[in-house]
Amino acid sequence: MGKLEENKLQKKNRLMDTAFSLYTTKGIVRTTISDIVEKAGIAKGTFYLYFRDKYDLEEKLIVRKSDELFRHALEYSGYAGKTAPEEKLIALIDDILLQLKNDPHLMRFISKNLSWGVFRRAIIHSEVDYAAVFESIFETQPTDRKTLEIEVYTVLELVGSTCHTVILDSDPVDMDTYLPYLHRAILAILRSFREDPPVRPVSA
Amino acid sequence: MGKLEENKLQKKNRLMDTAFSLYTTKGIVRTTISDIVEKAGIAKGTFYLYFRDKYDLEEKLIVRKSDELFRHALEYSGYAGKTAPEEKLIALIDDILLQLKNDPHLMRFISKNLSWGVFRRAIIHSEVDYAAVFESIFETQPTDRKTLEIEVYTVLELVGSTCHTVILDSDPVDMDTYLPYLHRAILAILRSFREDPPVRPVSA
Amino acid sequence: MGKLEENKLQKKNRLMDTAFSLYTTKGIVRTTISDIVEKAGIAKGTFYLYFRDKYDLEEKLIVRKSDELFRHALEYSGYAGKTAPEEKLIALIDDILLQLKNDPHLMRFISKNLSWGVFRRAIIHSEVDYAAVFESIFETQPTDRKTLEIEVYTVLELVGSTCHTVILDSDPVDMDTYLPYLHRAILAILRSFREDPPVRPVSA
Amino acid sequence: MGKLEENKLQKKNRLMDTAFSLYTTKGIVRTTISDIVEKAGIAKGTFYLYFRDKYDLEEKLIVRKSDELFRHALEYSGYAGKTAPEEKLIALIDDILLQLKNDPHLMRFISKNLSWGVFRRAIIHSEVDYAAVFESIFETQPTDRKTLEIEVYTVLELVGSTCHTVILDSDPVDMDTYLPYLHRAILAILRSFREDPPVRPVSA
DNA sequence: GATGAATGAGCATTCATTCAT
DNA sequence: CATGAATGAATGCTCATTCAT
């Protein structure tokens, strides 16, 4: 990479890091572009070379941060060493929750966004082949691809939404207290997907 | 109620209804107080007689709308006619999901907020005694109050977060397809709470 | 007119007068809205209550100023006392040129705009019935309405474009020197319209 | 011309052509230097090697375009074949008007500038000896140099200002309809300059 | 209480200009 | 010569808030 290219990347990263810090401190609504560039020590015009507005920057941050989160879990959770798919999934989830617990700023930022939509976007932009990962986890299972997607979706949403309040506010209980219940709930859900599939669609 | 009192309430209601319409259409960030009063046909100064700012109005809207949602479910879901607690809870949930499915604007507005925090606020401000309701549902169960709270919390978060994407985007599947899976997942969670409680808190 | 209405009009007028002064001094391109409001001693937001931007204000100024110009000529030129239509028209024109000569700022501002397009807009917005005026001037003449329009157009454009350089730069000669030539040219044009009308349209 | 020299000229020309296209499309005020260099595919810094700012470029464009206009008329109008001075002048004018009619962009650009001031500048910068041309046209006439200048000025302004609206907006009539009237008016003006010169200067 | 004209701090955004490469 | 990333002063514009009527 040329010196110029390197410098460009550095500026962009400095803006993203500064923005992340401000977004999680003051909230994105109360953060102005002036705040970001001033704190980053970069000229205002430079911001517009890299981002359309503060929401464009936010989106790029979400993708980056959630990808980092998943990559860490894949690398350090030791999920591959587990045998049962449920254990693998829980290992991944626990690693992510642990990361979030140790970084409340990241938690606050990602929580609203740790959802199916963002997960999908992160998947698309990431170098990691998530589809392959999840299929490898459940490979021994006789479920079809679509049902697997619904399953992952259900667990992901449960984890994402519960961990928000629990980690940030310790409400209704703190995370250490909640985790066993969450594990049970996840296992119960996974088991429910191994039973006979539901047949009757409910119409409105 | 005197005519004056009535007129006051009317103005406040008109502002809330108009704001709701704008919040769900343009988003609260892009909605200005000028937008609201102009569309409502009310003078700008009058806004400040009733609300501190647009976020104050939003909060009051959340409380009102979620209370309406729950009250409708309590009145029309027929949950009281069911015998098993699980059936009662699912009857309530289904009624709420049906309301949201039929009112995507309400869904969009409430979804981010159909969470534990808001639920608690709605409980506090409501005339309905929710604690009593939930205790009556699970009255036959030997679980203690705190575990019951965790249980309701878990189910509520699962429902709230999954229904958002499903109803608004039919992603990963549409609501009618998803509902049976959701029912199963809820039942599985409820069952898991009837098993021996977890004992080993996991430390970070 | 209520006190409030009066105050509003006063503010709008102060903005227009200040803008006129700046437009003719620095040019509209180099005049900023900040300049205008600052010099007028009015808050910036107030500007936007009355004008969309500085070009909207310019347009409103053009209409107002050209109307004032014509009205003065109609009232003070003594054109009505003349007998021949040519003399009436020249009386009007001379009055306008005199006004412009005595107010170079107005000249600079109006000159680019003393044209058919603006004349038409001024006519539309004015309380003066210009069509009636011109028909009264040429009433004894057997020309049709359309030819009359072309005639007025031709004279107006000649006067408008020549007077600009002559008055502002005394180039190629000063106004007093030029006026007799202009009178002759106008009379010649008017006479040419009294001859047999041209018949052969020239195609491109 | 060396290859380097050629390349330089090419860049300058590309900038001028692109700017002309943008000036006549969006207007010079709304055209930015960034627009020009981007559309021309040339680096921003390069602009400043050839022009001080966009108005400097505009001025150079005016000179170039009006010179092209006159040179074409001198070469192709066949004016030299006419005998009477009036016919020569009208031949030149008609050729110019025809060029403008066939190139409304050029018309829009040059119109505001087809005036005495620009004419003078074009004369100065051009390789054509305009003074000689006009003297040759009117050579048989006993008028002095200054009167000749006033005469040309008057006709030029009349043509320039009338053709603008007529060509661009066909208002008050289209060009083909107007041309015969314009010819008559020009002839009338020329004739008026052959009469006894005016003697009484009008004072303000 | 109700109004809406006026305010001006505050912010986003642009863009001519520079200069290291 | 040519480049284009970086700059930051300049400017347009918004909009919550006030207050005289």
Least confident of A60-74, A96-110, A174-188, C141-155: C141-155
Q: Give me the pLDDT at residue D178, please.
A: 94
**Position with higher pLDDT, D56 vs A171:** D56
Type of residue found at D106: L
User: Would you call C61 exposed, middle or buried from its count of C-beta atoms within 10 A (0-12, 13-18, 19+)?
Assistant: buried
φ and ψ at residue D56, rounded to 5 degrees: -60, -45
Contact D92, D79 (CB under 8 A): yes
For strand E, is any atom closer than 7 Å to the CB of D33? yes
Cβ–Cβ gap C181/D150 under 8 Å: yes
**Shortest CA–C1' contact from B34: which nucleotide?**
F15
Q: Give me the pLDDT at residue A204, please.
A: 43
> D150 CA to chain C: closest CA distance, Å?
7
List Cα–Cα distances, B25 to A201, B30, B107, in angstroms: 31, 10, 12
φ and ψ at residue C76, rounded to 5 degrees: -110, -5
Task: Say how many residues make up chain B.
Answer: 204
For the beta carbon of residue B138, count every other beta carbon within 10 angstroms.
Answer: 20
Per residue in B149-164, pLDDT (tens digit) is: 898 889 988 998 888 8
**Shortest CA–C1' contact from D37: which nucleotide?**
F4
Q: Is the pLDDT assigned to residue A196 strictly greater than 70?
A: no
Confidence tier at A112 by pLDDT (50, 70, 90)? low
Which of A163, A72, A74, A70 lies closest to A123, judged by CA?
A70
Considering only the beta carbons, identify the residue of D101, D185, D201 that sits closest to C180.
Answer: D201
Per residue in B98-154, pLDDT (tens digit) is: 999 899 889 888 876 666 666 777 777 777 887 788 888 877 555 677 888 898 889
Per residue in D85-115, pLDDT (tens digit) is: 889 989 999 999 999 989 988 988 887 666 6
Which chain C residues in 19-58 lie under 8 Å from chain D, judged by CB atoms?
29
Pull the structure tokens for residue B126.
């409501």
Contact A202, B175 (CB under 8 A): no
Which chain B residues in 141-170 lie under 8 Å from chain A, judged by CB atoms?
146, 149-150, 153-154, 157-158, 160-162, 164-165, 169
**Position with higher pLDDT, B159 vs A203:** B159
Pull the structure tokens for residue A70.
């998943």
Q: Give me the pLDDT at residue A177, please.
A: 94
For strand E, is any atom closer than 7 Å to the CB of C44? yes
Contact residues on chain D for C200, CB-CB shorter than 8 A: 180
Query: Torsion angle of alpha carbons C134, C137, C141, C143, nearest 10°?
Result: -10
Which of B114, C109, A200, C181 lies closest to D146, judged by CA?
C181
Q: Is the pLDDT assigned to residue C99 strictly greater than 60?
A: yes
Contact C166, C185 (CB under 8 A): no
Q: Is the pLDDT assigned to residue A184 strictly greater than 60?
A: yes
Q: Give me the pLDDT at residue D77, please.
A: 94
> D195 CA to chain C: closest CA distance, Å?
10
Contact residues on chain B for A111, CB-CB shorter than 8 A: none
Type of residue found at D34: S
Type of residue found at B137: I
Per residue in A131-145, pLDDT (tens digit) is: 788 888 877 555 677
- Which region holds residue D141: left if phi is over 0, alpha if psi is between -120 and 50, else beta? beta
Type of residue found at A19: A
- Using the Cα atoms of residue D35, residue D41, residue D42 and residue D44 in order, give the sign of their dihedral: positive
Rg (CA), chain D: 20
Contact C177, D156 (CB under 8 A): no
- Using the Cα atoms of residue C4, residue C6, residue C10 and residue C12 in order, give the sign of their dihedral: positive
Which of B92, B111, B116 lies closest to B168, judged by CA?
B111
Contact residues on chain C for D187, CB-CB shorter than 8 A: 192
Least confident of C7-16, C154-163, D138-147: D138-147
**Shortest CA–C1' contact from A35: which nucleotide?**
E11
Using a CB–CB cutoff of 8 Å, tell me whether D181 touches chain C.
yes
Which chain A residue shows the shortest CA-CA distance from B117? A165
Confidence tier at D127 by pLDDT (50, 70, 90)? confident
Q: Give me the pLDDT at residue B141, please.
A: 57
For strand E, is any atom closer than 7 Å to the CB of C45? yes
Q: Is the pLDDT assigned to residue A189 strictly greater than 90?
A: yes
Pull the structure tokens for residue D81.
């074949």
Mutate to test the interface with A, among B29, B58, B150 (most CBs of A within 10 A): B150
* C55 CA vs F10 C1’ separation (Å): 19
φ and ψ at residue D41, rounded to 5 degrees: 70, 35
Pull the structure tokens for residue D131.
């003074």
Three-state secondary-structure class, residue C177: helix
Rg (CA), chain C: 20
Mean pLDDT of chain B: 85
Residues 7-46 of A with CB under 7 A from strand E: 32-34, 44-45
Q: Give me the pLDDT at residue A164, please.
A: 83
Confidence tier at C130 by pLDDT (50, 70, 90)? confident
Place of tokens 């000569």: C101
Distance of alpha carbon D171 from alpha carbon D168, whole angstroms: 8
List Cα–Cα distances, B42 to B11, B15, C93, in angstroms: 8, 8, 52
Q: At what angle do helices C54-76 and C104-111 cross, to 10 degrees?
A: 120
User: Would you call C68 exposed, middle or buried from its count of C-beta atoms within 10 A (0-12, 13-18, 19+)?
Assistant: middle
**Position with higher pLDDT, B112 vs D15:** D15
Q: Please, which residues have CB within 8 angstroms of residue C128's CB and are 6 or more apart in sequence?
A: C67, C70, C71, C74
User: For chain B, how far is it from start to end, CA to CA, in angstroms?
Assistant: 58
Three-state secondary-structure class, residue B172: coil
State which residue has its Cα closest to the C1' atom of E6: C46
Q: Which chains touch C (3 or more CB pairs under 8 A)?
A: D
Confidence tier at B194 by pLDDT (50, 70, 90)? confident
| Across C186-201, average pLDDT | 75
Contact B108, B62 (CB under 8 A): no
* A33 CA vs E12 C1’ separation (Å): 8
Confidence tier at B5 by pLDDT (50, 70, 90)? low
Mutate to test the interface with C, among D169, D181, D187 (most CBs of C within 10 A): D181
Pull the structure tokens for residue A89.
């999934």
Peptide bond into B172 cis (omega under 30): yes
Q: Give me the pLDDT at residue B195, please.
A: 74
Peptide bond into C172 cis (omega under 30): yes
Confidence tier at D42 by pLDDT (50, 70, 90)? very high
Mean pLDDT of chain D: 85
Contact C181, D154 (CB under 8 A): yes
Number of helices followed by number of strands (H, E) in chain B: 10, 0
Considering only the beta carbons, identify the residue of B150, B183, B204 that sits closest to A101.
Answer: B204
User: Would you call A114 exposed, middle or buried from its count of C-beta atoms within 10 A (0-12, 13-18, 19+)?
Assistant: buried
Query: Torsion angle of alpha carbons D123, D126, D127, D128, nearest 10°?
Result: -40
Q: Give me the pLDDT at residue A144, please.
A: 76
Distance of alpha carbon D168 from alpha carbon D162, whole angstroms: 10
Residue A34 C-alpha from the chain's centroid: 28
Pull the structure tokens for residue C125.
């917005």
User: Would you call B157 exposed, middle or buried from its count of C-beta atoms within 10 A (0-12, 13-18, 19+)?
Assistant: buried
Query: Torsion angle of alpha carbons D127, D133, D134, D136, nearest 10°?
Result: 160
Confidence tier at A1 by pLDDT (50, 70, 90)? low
% helix / strand / coil in chain D, to the nearest 5? 75, 0, 25
The pTM of the full predicted model, rounded to 2 decimals, is 0.84
* A51 CA vs E10 C1’ separation (Å): 21
Which chain C residue shows the shortest CA-CA distance from D98? C204
For strand E, is any atom closer than 7 Å to the CB of C4? yes
Contact residues on chain D for C160, CB-CB shorter than 8 A: 161
Q: Give me the pLDDT at residue C140, please.
A: 57
Using a CB–CB cutoff of 8 Å, tell me whether B183 touches chain A.
yes
> C68 CA to chain D: closest CA distance, Å?
20
| Across B69-87, average pLDDT | 91
**Shortest CA–C1' contact from A53: which nucleotide?**
E12
Pull the structure tokens for residue A180.
């066993």
* C47 CA vs E7 C1’ separation (Å): 11
Considering only the beta carbons, identify the residue of B153, B162, B188 that sits closest to A172.
Answer: B153
Which chain C residues in 51-110 lie under 8 Å from chain D, judged by CB atoms?
94, 98, 101-102
> D115 CA to chain C: closest CA distance, Å?
8
Distance of alpha carbon D184 from alpha carbon D123, whole angstroms: 27
Which of C62, C55, C57 lies closest to C12, judged by CA?
C57
Q: Give me the pLDDT at residue B202, please.
A: 46
List Cα–Cα distances, A139 to A136, B181, C143, C195, D182, in angstroms: 5, 21, 96, 100, 89
Cβ–Cβ gap A178/B150 under 8 Å: yes
Contact residues on chain B for A177, CB-CB shorter than 8 A: 201
Using a CB–CB cutoff of 8 Å, tell me whether D115 touches chain C.
yes
**Position with higher pLDDT, C152 vs D125:** C152
List Cα–Cα distances, B198 to A96, A191, B157, in angstroms: 21, 17, 20
Contacts 24+ apart (CB under 8 A), B132-139: B133/B74, B137/B79, B137/B85, B137/B88, B137/B89, B138/B85
Place of tokens 């004032």: C68
Q: At what angle do helices C175-194 and C145-169 cross, to 10 degrees?
A: 170
State which residue has its Cα closest to the C1' atom of E19: D45
Q: Is the pLDDT assigned to residue C43 strictly greater than 80?
A: yes
Cβ–Cβ gap D178/C117 under 8 Å: no
Q: Give me the pLDDT at residue A74, please.
A: 92
Cβ–Cβ gap A172/B116 under 8 Å: yes
Contact A125, A69 (CB under 8 A): no
Interchain touch A–B (≥3 Cβ pairs closer than 8 Å): yes
Distance of alpha carbon C14 from alpha carbon C6, whole angstroms: 12
